[in-house]
Amino acid sequence: MTIRNIAIIAHVDHGKTTLVDALLKQGGAFAAHEQVGELLMDSNAQERERGITIYAKNASILLKAEQFPSLLQEDCKVNIVDTPGHADFGSEVERILRTVDSVLLLVDAQEGPMPQTKFVLKKSLEIGIKPIVIINKIDKPAARPLQVVDMVFDLFVALGASHEQLDFPVVFTVAREGIAKRKFEEHAEDLTALFTLIIEKVAPAAQKVDAPFRMQPSNLGYDNYVGRLAIGRVFEGVAVVGSKVWIKREGGSTRTGKITKVYTYEGMERREAAEARAGDIVILAGVPDIDVGETITTDEGAPVLPALRIDPPTISMFFLVNNSPFAGKEGKLVTTRHIKSRLQKERETNVGLHVEEIPNSDAYKVSGRGELHLSVLIEQMRREGFELQVSRPEVILREGQGRKEEPIEQVIIDVPETYAGTVIDMLSRRKGELVEMREGQVAAVDAHGATSRHVRMEFTAPTRGLLGLRGDFIIETRGEGILTHAFLRYEPYKGDLPGRTCGSIISMVAGDATAYDLWKLEERGKLFIGPQTPIYEGMIIGESAKDQDLVVNVTKGKKLSNMRASGSDEAITLTPVKPMTLEQALEYIGDDELVEVTPKSIRLRKKLLSEHERKRAKK
């Protein structure tokens, strides 16, 4: 049996996981009696809720020789890796690319190449992989598949692709319907064209079984029964259960271990196997301290495989023990010990995460690739019963060539042209630089036949400037704009940025908020809470219309009397409050504020709760 290893890479929401569903269904991964759902690989609860892939996952299909008699002499196992499409989880993609023979580069037939498309393609080309380009969603009304092929070619050229890489094959698909065709005008009913292309263009994995066993984990897993799992490709040799192995790393010490379990992938299932063979992607158990990029070998003298390089984190925030007046009321895991053990467990599988313990404090500095990377972890912890407080995200600066450098991101924005001026002004105030601006598709046609178009703008902007941008962007574009960004490079520090233009409305006492007081307060700013919400001193209950903090008491209520007068008993009508999400809370808070996260609530608060402490700290 031959083996072919492929990864599917793309920008977020271009249809990777939907295509994997179709490949699994048509590749025989399920029995006839099995009920099959949608987005099968997005098994995590947050992935399904957010509609994005967060963790890279493996599956396999078996292409039988009788199905493709002219192309195959024996059955072919195809290992498929579904990778995240969001830039914050790019470290997952970087590691996976080293384990595969080719990649399927998926591009939306309407949107074309996006920031993450460029990022993952650049990494693939640097390794020497020859991608297969898939133009997906060709059934969209505004699809422009042939134009997108030209855009992809231009991107290949801009990224310095070789002549062999520029001669990439193209297939057009509708992943949702499970069809693929080599030519746009052809008729197709299934994915046979894509299966054929994989067999023709993806070289079979080298199965050098007579050499000493060598494997390099590209991902980690955890099992409650067998412990830490190493997931990766076997580059050469064979290892059986019970084999003694040496674990080596570049410039480091060598240690020993023993393989206790071997698993391979059959469809979406993990099957126990007797041995791990060259060319296959397998799971090994038995090395409790294994790390990504290390070499596992059965020969103590075998050379170390080249180390996996992972880009460093760009964003950090502090995780603190919850010390608010409401601490311990909603969560079960509230102590430093609980938070420390949970972060250490996360580090075992989330290799893009850095955790640093702050001496003599109840705080941990947690660093990741972006706001979403960290907010997914926080959301997972609160669902597990944790209570904690987190600070505002901060950009990680570095010293380079004798000067301070900061991360710069590529920003692509699609908006109706009426909002283009507003968006350019927003980005320029945040040190963004307009790189390119071009007219896009017709967005709408009114009753008089007049058309309005979308404009696509590309900026480079410091990561600092993008923190808190999304909320303002949605408001300024009336929800009609699309904002995507991805890390690009480090550049010299761009200087100070303007801070938040509005202050906070802060409670001065503890109690329950009353409808009457909130009604009177509505004209002073935007509220974050509704009536009967329990509050405490120092808790942020709204956003002030002015640039200064406003300290208020919303627990007094209306004083009742026997007197009646015209107009004194007006009906209280409060504007409905939309609960703030975790991402919105992290975007809103300032340097002197915290987000209190519990299983049931997300609250905002000042670091110093009492008013006199805040005044004393300012002196």
Q: Which of 266, 297, 328 is the last residue of a domain?
A: 297
pLDDT of 605 reads 92
pLDDT of 440 reads 65
Copy the structure tokens of residue 489: 């490079």
User: In this structure, are 283 and 412 located in the same domain?
Assistant: no
CB 460 within 8 A of CB 408: yes
Q: Which DSSP string corresponds to 69-106?
A: TTT-SS-EEEEEEE---SGGGHHHHHHHGGG-SEEEEE
Nearest to 420 by CA among 481, 474, 508: 481
CB 60 within 8 A of CB 5: no
Mean of the per-residue pLDDT values for the chain? Answer: 84
User: In this structure, are 535 and 609 located in the same domain?
Assistant: yes
Residue 590: CB atoms within 10 Å: 17
User: In this structure, are 167 and 224 located in the same domain?
Assistant: no
User: In this structure, are 236 and 117 located in the same domain?
Assistant: no
Distance separating alpha carbons of residues 488 and 461, to the nearest angstrom: 9
Count how many Cα atoms sit within 13 Å of the Cα of residue 476 in the half-sphere of its side chain. Answer: 20
pLDDT of 210 reads 86
Cut 0.75: pTM above it:
yes
Instruction: Report the domain count for the chain.
Output: 4
- Sort 194 into a burial class: Cβ within 10 Å, 0-12 / 13-18 / 19+: buried
In a domain, 611, yes or no: yes
pLDDT of 445 reads 46
User: In this structure, are 7 and 131 located in the same domain?
Assistant: yes
Q: Which residues contact 380 (CB under 8 A, 6 or more apart)?
A: 46
User: In this structure, are 508 and 469 located in the same domain?
Assistant: no
pLDDT single digits (tens) 519-566: 888 888 889 998 999 999 999 999 888 888 899 999 988 777 766 665
User: In this structure, are 119 and 25 located in the same domain?
Assistant: yes
Most confident residue range from 107-121, 150-164, 470-484: 150-164
* Domain assignment of residue 104, given as a range: 2-201
Copy the structure tokens of residue 123: 């990494």
CA-to-CA dists, residue 516 to 144, 315, 409, 413, 521, angstroms: 56, 41, 46, 42, 9
Beta bridge partners of 184: none
User: In this structure, are 32 and 107 located in the same domain?
Assistant: yes
CB 530 within 8 A of CB 522: no
In a domain, 350, yes or no: no
What percentage of the chain exceeds 90 in pLDDT? Answer: 16
Q: Which of 492, 512, 547 is the last residue of a domain?
A: 492
Q: Is 258 helix (H, G, I), strand (E, B) or coil?
A: strand
Distance separating alpha carbons of residues 597 and 249, to the nearest angstrom: 39
User: In this structure, are 21 and 109 located in the same domain?
Assistant: yes
pLDDT single digits (tens) 53-80: 777 788 888 888 888 888 878 888 888 8
What percentage of the chain exceeds 70 in pLDDT? Answer: 93
In a domain, 411, yes or no: yes
Nearest to 582 by CA among 381, 435, 443: 381
